[in-house]
């Protein structure tokens, strides 16, 4: 499995505030890849919990940022977009709960992480940025507002 490589052409929206937050999210998911690849599982459990917590917190912060921008710029597609955020937040919540339940069994934690969770996080994030978030960026562009976006 490979880390996510930030591709400016497909993932960059031209909105500095959001591009920086997206890069941070990619960075957190890439830290999970690093843990999964560690040869010594005994040392991996605490950082794994820390990173999952970071991901939950930062995703929440990021979605809030976008949703405030939808309001500020009166984005007409906000309802569908916010539903996507809610879906991811609830999946992430399930994931965090599963990790909390399996605390103490690092090998069991690493296996499912390797098999399906990283793929889910990676695919969801890349698709969401490239299609949903880009939809918002295109809307701002049409409004002539891209580039000077602030909260």
Residues within the interface to Fe ion (CB under 5 A): 66, 133
CB of 22 to Fe ion, least distance (A): 6
Q: Which two tokens stand for residue 144?
A: 């002539």
Shortest distance in whole angstroms from residue 136 CB to Fe ion: 7
44 vs 125 by CB, closer to Fe ion: 125
Closer CB to Fe ion, 84 or 102, in the complex:
84
Give min distance, CB of 14 to Fe ion, in A.
Answer: 13
Question: Cβ neighbours of residue 151 under 8 Å, at least 6 residues apart?
Answer: 17, 65, 68, 69, 72
In degrees, to the nearest 5, what angle opens at C-alpha 133 toward C-alphas 132 and 139? Answer: 95
Minimum CB separation from Fe ion for residue 98, in Å? 24
As a whole number of angstroms, the distance between CA 50 and CA 63 comes to 20
DSSP letter, residue 73 = T
Name the residue nearer to Fe ion (CB basis): 11 or 113: 11
Q: CB-wise, 85 or 110, nearer to Fe ion?
A: 85
């Amino acid at each position: 499995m490979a880390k996510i490589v930030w591709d400016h052409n497909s993932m960059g929206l031209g909105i500095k505030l959001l591009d920086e937050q997206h890069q941070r999210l990619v960075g957190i998911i890439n830290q999970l890849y690093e843990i999964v690849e560690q040869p010594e599982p005994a040392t991996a459990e605490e950082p794994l919990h820390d990173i999952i917590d970071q991901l939950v917190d930062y995703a929440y912060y990021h979605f809030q940022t976008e949703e405030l921008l939808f309001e500020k710029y009166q984005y007409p597609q906000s309802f569908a977009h916010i539903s996507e955020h809610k879906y991811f937040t609830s999946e992430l919540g399930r994931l965090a709960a599963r990790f909390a339940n399996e605390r103490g069994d690092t090998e069991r934690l690493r296996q499912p992480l390797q098999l399906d969770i990283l793929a889910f996080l990676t695919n969801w994030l890349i698709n969401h940025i490239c299609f949903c978030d880009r939809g918002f960026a295109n809307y701002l562009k049409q409004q002539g507002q891209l580039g000077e976006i602030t909260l």
